[in-house]
Structure 1
Amino acid sequence: MDSKAEVQKTGTGAQKKIDLNDHYAIKRILDDTVSEVILARGYAEHLTLSNIKMGIGILTCAVAFLAQFYPKKLPESKPFLYGCITLYLMLNSLLQFIIYTKEKNRIMFTYPLQGSFTSTGLAISSKLPRYSDLYTLEIASSDAQSIAAHSPVELTKSVTKWFTKEGVLAEGIFWDDVQKLLDDFQSEPRKSK
């Protein structure tokens, strides 16, 4: 956590405190807490997409590093540099394509619950528009085309319901809201095909 979001130790445990004027800190602390709730309910995080993005990012950095420290000087290195620039642009475009088409606003993907009959995990997404106090949390099936997919459920609530005036997250209230949404998702009938 950065300086604007901190965890304060008290006699009863750790409190999550943020600067209420920092929109990104509010969203980040809520998203992190959603992930904690989902993991506490027994879901395992599916990291394949994150690992792919990280691999593409490392390759992109390696290409930039090679272009920067190529031992030959211009104009001898022109063809190599053009190749690096082209590869760099292609890798960045691929990364943006993955973020735009696969990740969207999702903060987390999970595997199905251990021992459950469903074959699809969860796709958790959230939104907190700039200059708005309304946080929207959506839980959907990670494979919406699956026969086991449930209908998505959504919660929209003002962040003022979860934070004190001092910026401390009322974690118990927020956990209850997220758990209720997860229970609603699990009790939702499957999508009709």
Structure 2
Amino acid sequence: MKETGLMFKAPLVRAILSGQKTQTRRIVKPQPSAGKSFQGWVISSSGGKHDGKAVWGAGSGHFISESERARCPYGKPGDRIYVRETWCRQVDEDGFLLDAYWYRASTPDVVNSEDGEKSPWRPSIHMPKHVARIWLEITGVRVERLQDISHDDAMAEGMAWDDAIHDFQKTWESTGGDWDANPWVWVIDFKRIEKP
């Protein structure tokens, strides 16, 4: 079973904690060549299920050797994701580090010193697996163009009801994503599980 860490910003962490977010999109790297379309999945010989490897091609009638393949680096159904988020270690009154942690999504105004300075937050990229408090199990993986997101999927991404697709576009762009490029993305469905 594969375990992969994925970074999430604080609002999305809160959406996962509330049960509102059950899906995430990540750019396929490298992107298939221009003119290629998604053809299907490489099916494993055991159980007849796809193994997380997508195939792009130029259309029907082409040999698979002319296609491009990409394995989802985040896993396949049954694999686990641990949420990497902004965090810091708690400090006792004498300034000693404790084996306990604060998470910015839940405690943004934590103070850990008498002079009122904020705690030394660490970015999500530096979060080790043992510090992660949120664990997810992948329940589905597929690929699609970014702008093909449906209203229901935008809701599963943790967006508000009224204009979920527009809200998702703004969230995507706020993380440095290019909505207009309309890249191929991995669509990963998940459910929250207990920390192993």
TM-score scaled by structure 1? 0.25
Query: Larger RCO: Structure 1 or Structure 2 (Cα < 8 Å, ≥ 6 residues apart)?
Result: 2
TM-score scaled by structure 2? 0.25
Higher strand share: 2
Higher helix share: 1
